[in-house]
Structure 1
Amino acid sequence: MSDSSSTESLVAILRAEVAALAPGDRLPSSRDMIARHGVGPVTVSRAIAQLAAEGLVVTRPGSGTYAAPRRPDRGRGAPDTSWQALALSASPHDPGRGQGGPWPQEDTPPAPPPAGALALCGGYLHENLQPTRALGAALARAARRPDAWHRAPAAGLAPLRALFARLSATGAGPEDVLITGGGQGALSMLFRAVAAPGAPVLVESPTYPGALAAARAAGLRPVPVPVDAEGLRPDLLAEAFAMTGARLLYCQPTVHNPTGAALAPGRRRQVVDVARAAGAFLIEDDFARHLGHGRPLAPPLAAEDRDGTVIHLTSLTKPASPSLRIGALIARGPVMHRLQAMRRVDDFFIARPLQEAAVELLSTPAWERHLRALATALRERCTALSGALARELPDLAPAHPPAGGLHLWLRLAPALTDTALAEAARAHGVCVDAGTGYFPAEAPAAHLRLAFAATAEPGDLAEAARRLALAVRSLT
């Protein structure tokens, strides 16, 4: 009889014997098994190892082999993953520890809206506002290119890098551009590349929840810096750098998410100077560069930076489609070399067909026509929702509608909580975003974020405001 068949036979015998034992009962010694079953010591060792791998026995050196605790029978459709809690808690890189809680859940997708509900939530354009025909045509042309499925350079296609350099208005060259898989992937890469686990990262308060999630997943500690109607406060920023020793700042100076504020002209140079004096990088999230409402937006902070302090982030997902996962990082100096090296470790390169489609889209007049039409539509929708709120909820309506972006930010009365109002609004057929998740620490007041680009028609916004007013009255 071969060694393998002897082992298999002994495993079957011992499996049956173990099933008759109580958890913790000791199995016969290896010497007894050899004598009883007429096998060699190697066969016994292999059989015990197989049973241990199956979780049926545990071995204790110097003591013996024992029947393992029984695992509950959960059926084929309900696997037992409880073991993972122990395995994950033993990980040396656990950003949940030291943060006062588990891994971040800010990016957990919300439950689907009830039937008939109107959406004042989310961060993307309704499909009616997306350039679907231009996207389809661009993808079709890209697919016909003979090299469409060739490997792409790690930094991205040269034509796409040149397009982003030109459209960013930062004065950068193609060599300063790294193509990324959208804005969120770029944030994850940046936080891991620039700061070590456990380090502080300064963020506006409130700020984009996806940035908080990416920072915490990288093991960083978000530290809030308050904002006001003119954006980030340079005086408090300098104090935060001095108190924490941070070497990284994340901010959205052009159109802030969620407040919609723009960093005041007199503060723009100050913010960059404060970061440079601290020896820190400034991540400029310029997600709304193509989401203006018709008025010129301020130039990027990176346009005035020549020393590599500012790392500029932009993306096509907001102005085009959530599935056009193409973005760009613009950086100068050794940090770009580190980001390129990280790209080779993470995923080698961004899928070439998607890059080719982005080149086609950005190179045609259809893109400029889309941006002009989008600016008009966003301005009309922002005005419509602001007017509806002024009629239905005058105490909550924002005093100054934003010059760009997709949202309004409402401060609630002290008697209201954002989570309770969000639940009540959902019950009245309108979905909104509670403001709590936008704060890296305790929120000074309750807020709601309302999206005006997520409904199918602009006329839906007045009805959504009416339903939100009913929800408010149900709680007061």
Structure 2
Amino acid sequence: MHERSSVAGLAKSLKAELNRYSPGEKLPSSRALVERYRVSPVTVTRALAQLASEGLVVTRPGAGAYRADTRTAAPAAGDTSWQELALSADTATELVPRSVDASGVLVTLAAPPPGVVEFNGGYLHPVLQPERALAAALARAGRRPGAWGRPPADGLTDLRAWFAREVGGSVTAAEILITAGGQSALTTALRALAPPGTPVLVESPTYPGMLAVARSAGLRPVPVPTDADGIRPDLLEAAFRATGARVVVCQPLFQNPTGAALPVERRAAVVRIARAAGAFVIEDDFARRLVHEDSAPLPPTLAADDPDGVVVHVCSLTKITSASLRVGALAARGPVLERLRAIQVVDSFFVPRPLQEAALELVGSPAWSRHLRAVTQELKNRRDTMTGAVALHLPELALPHIPSGGYHLWLRLPDTLPEAALLPTALRAGVAVAPGRPYFAAEPPAGHIRLSFAGVAGPAEIIEGVRRLRTAIDELTG
């Protein structure tokens, strides 16, 4: 049995037996638990640690584990009503009041109840993650000389050089800043490029986490419509003229949520239009390594073809590895680099060196290329499975674009199917989906849902999840 599932199973069994013991009574010894449940001593230790973290048992070194006394009086409720005034007082003079709405992000971070098919995920399922390679990389990283010392504020030189090669073109290590993942990089870029109260142009629809960052910084997201080929250059140019914005955020490759990829002519047009407006392009290149076909070459990054410093490039290792490998990069050239560096240092000082060293070990190992090939093939298989299942079981849902990269499908709901009612109904049917509303900066043109095929165990679970979604829709429309 997998170690992680063994720990969870033993913890569940021990929790069910706790009522046999009085508060303060000693539990069986670790040796007795090993023999009774036929698990390893490590599993016993971790299961007891889990119960201790939940306040159910107390472990005493050298003495054993004891049932905790949970019969404690509830703390007196305080009066926090004063905070309403304190938190709203600083918005009275703001042109665009700052708001922190993480609901669109939490949908993809929250784990659904056990037994629910997770179509709302934003990361690779553990079966797709390079867990052994990550563990080996972390172990090697911890033994590197100076691995626990303070890293350079900009990041390890070798890691910056690797990211520079990934960005391509004439980008150098000196133009790279290592960040704590892509979300942190987006936050730094938006804070650096747009002062509070100003507009920022965004694709419509777009990534909810970026909209949340913009609004929390007091920015005003202005939507620019997209089509099957991504953001429309004619409307982008009109939006710059109408708003005077100095920033546009764009995902040129496998856009979230539509999956669109900008063709060559549009890629050049986006940079040219921004340059003419005296504006920056924040290129969120989050999905480059989530390609579904490894035969056709990918287009270069916008930053690779930008000698004038129009593009501020954002990328990370998180999506292709694990949600916990929060290592990313910002690439920029010109005076803006110093501003990005200053904000990065003030916000976080630096990314922990052991994590940077582990990232270096991973991308420099033979396991890295094997992992990329395996994920490419598996994502293609899952995309095809989900596409076929949707066509068979959910023909009334429109799929305007089948992506060639990324980890999800973007489906338009018929006008007769309310998005707000579908989500809880689907959850009762045993499938969690991501709502479309958080992906729009303004009123959406129709109801949508996003279905992830990367956060589930495999094709069989995809087919079952689509069947459950069929049940939910029948309940609403039958």
Which band: TM-score by shorter chain?
0.7 to 0.9
Q: CA deviation at 1:266?
A: 1.9
SS of the residue 1:128 aligns to: coil
- 2-side partners of 1:189 and 1:339: how far apart? 6
Cross-structure match for 1:33:
none
CA distance, structure 2, for counterparts of residue 226 and residue 458 of structure 1: 33
Aligned to 1:106: 103
* Distance in 2 between residues matched to 1:363 and 1:144, nearest whole Å: 16
- Give CA deviations for 1:391-436 in whole Å, capped at 9, x if unaligned: 1012325253101001100011011122211111111101100100
Q: Distance in 2 between matches of 1:88 and 1:160?
A: 40
Task: Kindly state the Cα deviation for residue 92 of structure 1 after the two structures are TM-superposed.
Answer: 5.5
Matches within 5 A, 1:61-460: 76-91=75-90, 98=96, 102-107=99-104, 109-110=106-107, 112-294=111-293, 295-460=296-461
Please give the secondary structure, in 1, of the residue aligned with 2:458.
Answer: coil
Whether contact under 8 Å (2:436, 2:447) holds in the other structure is yes
- Whole-angstrom distance in 1 between the partners of 2:251 and 2:304: 15
Which stretch of structure 1 is more off in the superposition, 392-401 or 428-437? 392-401
* 1:457 shift after superposition: 1.8
Partner amino acid, structure 2, of 1:422: L
Q: Aligned equivalents of 1:349 and 1:402: distance in 2?
A: 35
| Native 8 Å contact 1:94 1:219 kept in 2 | no
With structure 2 as the length reference, what TM-score do the two structures score?
Answer: 0.81
Which has more radius of gyration? 1
By how many angstroms is 1:81 displaced? 1.9
- Give 3-state SS (helix, strand or coil) of 1:449's partner: strand
Q: Secondary structure at the match of 2:330?
A: strand
Q: Do the aligned partners of 1:390 and 1:397 also contact (CA within 8 Å) in 2? A: no
Percent identical pairs in the alignment equals 57
Deviates more, 1:413-422 or 1:239-248: 413-422
Structure 1: distance between partners of 2:168 and 2:126: 28
Instruction: Indicate conservation of the 8 Å contact 2:289/2:320, yes or no.
Output: yes
Deviations 1:320-344 (A, max 9, x none): 0000010000000011111111122
Q: Is residue 461 of structure 1 aligned with residue 446 of structure 2?
A: no
Deviation at 1:169, TM superposition (A): 2.5
Secondary structure in 1 aligned to 2:459? coil
**Amino acid paired to 2:346:** V
Q: What RMSD, in angstroms, separates the aligned Cα atoms of the two structures?
A: 1.7
What is the aligned length?
A: 401
Which amino acid letter does the alignment assign opposite residue 374 of structure 1? V
User: What does the per-residue CA deviation read over 1:83-142, in whole Å, with 9 as the maximum and x for residues that have no partner?
Assistant: 1111111225987x745x953233552454233111111210001100000000000000
User: Whole-Å Cα distance in 2 between the matches of residues 278 and 408 of structure 1?
Assistant: 34
Shift of 1:203: 0.1
Amino acid at match of 1:398: L
Is the contact between residue 121 and residue 432 of structure 1 (CA under 8 Å) also seen in structure 2? yes
Say if 2:382 and 2:458, in contact at 8 Å, map to a contact too.
Answer: no
1:474 corresponds to 2:475: yes
Deviation at 1:191, TM superposition (A): 1.0
Task: Please state how far the C-alpha of 1:296 moved relative to its aligned partner.
Answer: 3.1
| Secondary structure, aligned partner of 2:414 | coil
Q: Quote the Cα distance in structure 2 between the aligned partners of 1:305 and 1:358.
A: 27
* TM-score between the two structures when normalised by the length of structure 1: 0.82
Q: Deviations over 1:226-266 (max 9, x none)?
A: 00011100000000000000000001011100010111222
SS state at 1:187 partner: helix
CA distance in 2, matches of 1:318, 1:405: 9
Whole-Å separation in 2 of the counterparts to 1:460 and 1:370 = 22
Q: Which runs of 5+ in 1 are unaligned?
A: 1-73
**Deviation per residue, 1:159-211 (Å, 9 max, x gap):** 00001111223431100100000011111111111110001000000000000
Q: Secondary structure at the match of 1:448?
A: strand
Distance 2:263 2:396 in 1: 26
- Determine the C-alpha separation between the residues in 1 that align with 2:165 and 2:172: 8
Question: Which secondary structure state, in structure 1, belongs to the residue aligned with residue 90 of structure 2?
Answer: coil
**More divergent stretch after superposition (227-236 vs 398-407):** 398-407
Runs of at least 5 residues in structure 2 that lack an aligned partner in the other structure: 1-72
The alignment partner of 1:104 has SS state of: coil
* Distance in 1 between residues matched to 2:92 and 2:225, nearest whole Å: 29
CA contact (8 A) 2:99 2:218 kept: no
Match for 1:255: what amino acid? F
Q: Distance in 1 between matches of 2:429 and 2:170?
A: 49
Whether the 8 Å contact between 2:96 and 2:219 is mirrored in structure 1 is no
Q: Give CA-to-partner distance per residue, 1:342-379, whole Å, 9 cap, x none.
A: 12211211100000001101111111110000000000
CA distance in 1: counterparts of 2:215 and 2:401, whole angstroms: 32
**SS of 1:395's equivalent?**
coil
- The structural deviation recorded for 1:268 is 1.0
Q: Cα–Cα, structure 1 residues 156 and 107, in superposed 2: closer, same or farther, change >3 Å? A: farther
